[in-house]
Amino acid sequence: MKFEQPKSVYFAAANGYDGFRNYFNKVFIPQDFERIYVLKGGPGTGKSSLMKKICTTFQNKNYKCEAIFCSSDPSSLDGIILQNNNKKIGILDGTAPHETDAKIPGAIDEIINLGDYWNDKTLKSKKKSILKLNENKSYRYSQAYNYLRIAGCFADNIRRTVESAYKISEAKIINDILFDIKQKNEGRNEQIKLNSSFSKNGYTRLNTKENYPKEISVSGVFGSEYIFTDNLLNEVKKLCCEYTRFPSPFSDRLTEAIYLPESDTLITVGGDYENTVDTSAFLDCGIINYNKEHLSYYAKQREDALSHAKHEFLLASNAHFELEEIYTPCMNFEGISKLTNSLIIEIEEILR
């Protein structure tokens, strides 16, 4: 069955300046779900394929579906959410680096171990190869995160300089964006999603099918656009309204986009929309020009470090795929197919 990408797609984890970040606990909140299935198993054991089949099946049945992609391999799934009216089902990859266990076992969470479908004898005979590949994979990831930390140091230098030049108030523009939003008093109001990632493919932005009646692009120089989105976010929080925040994959401190459901408005860094905010207009040109040589140097060093990190992620990915080549032939996929079909029946009964 060919995977049909739903309208709502995002990441729930990221590789960034501070290492690996995991938002699964903010996406899969137990009390919001009827059932959460946590998948266990090694590389190449069919976790992503199982989720793709179930997601496509329920899309074809006109259920609301969300697909959560893997931040290290955007062609693979880390989770799906299926919804009918107010009932939700979650399925997620509960293995490292976003290891997840049952929080409300039995009542909400259920562990599904795909390791029950592999051939132990064959895997044990390849123990040395598996250990060596896992060691190499871990080393490459650690090297990638070292380079990301270096990139983050130069990004911080850029940010401090640009903040000192951010002199002109954007209050009127922010007020215009928030004009239709009413003040609230209480409630859980923030959702977290990521629309981009950094991995072996470099910086990747998902092609979402979601369309918003109002879309605003935020542009700038040397990251000035992120100062604007941070200031906008602070004002949104004061209103206590519902919103979805899309952090940058590089840092949770950077906001890449904000969605306001009350006005159905998406404000995003980048993009090519008719409505735009050019944050370079808020900068003191004198300060930017005075520091331009330093800013250009910091930017180049950041890009160089990111390039090295990307290469290390590629090497880690190569080790991962070699592990998949060991595990995949050892799997009883006929048994997993039967499991998948039984899950589809069970989930449909719950969502009725």
User: 88 in a domain, yes or no?
Assistant: yes
Do both 105 and 194 map to the same domain? Answer: no
Same domain, 28 and 91: yes
- The number of angstroms, rounded, from the C-alpha of 73 to the middle of its chain's C-alpha atoms is 11
Instruction: Based on the fold, state whether residues 172 and 261 are members of the same structural domain.
Output: yes
194 assigned to some structural domain? yes
Longest Cα pair distance anywhere in the chain, in angstroms?
69
Residue 313 is assigned to a structural domain of this protein:
no
Residues 6+ apart with CB under 8 A from 61: 348
Q: Write the DSSP string, 34-73.
A: SEEEEEE--TTSSHHHHHHHHHHHHHHTT-EEEEEE-SS-
Q: Which of 250, 266, 282 is the last residue of a domain?
A: 282
pTM of the predicted structure, to 2 decimals: 0.94
Give the model's pLDDT for residue 1: 78
User: Are residues 77 and 173 located together in one domain of the fold?
Assistant: no
Residue 312 forms part of a structural domain: no
Note whether residue 288 is domain-resident.
no
Count structural domains, the chain: 2
- CA 82 – CA 67 distance, rounded (Å): 9
The pLDDT score that the predictor gives to residue 169 is: 83
Q: Which residues contact 167 (CB under 8 A, 6 or more apart)?
A: 282, 283, 284, 287
Structural domain includes residue 303: no
Same domain for 277 and 182: yes
Least Cα distance to 55 among 12, 13, 8 occurs for 8
Would residue 129 count as lying in a domain? no
Residue 46 and residue 105 share a domain: yes
Residue 128: its pLDDT value, please? 98
Neighbours of 330 (CB within 10 A): 18
Q: Which of 37, 105, 24, 7 is nearest to 350 (CA)?
A: 37
Instruction: Name the token pair of 173.
Output: 């523009």
Range of 41's domain?
8-118+331-351
Q: pLDDT value at position 212?
A: 82
Q: What is the pLDDT of residue 272?
A: 80
Q: Are residues 173 and 278 in the same domain?
A: yes
In a domain, 114, yes or no: yes
Q: Cα Rg for the chain, rounded, in angstroms? A: 22
Q: Which residues of the chain have pLDDT under 70?
A: 185-188, 209
pLDDT of residue 223: 97
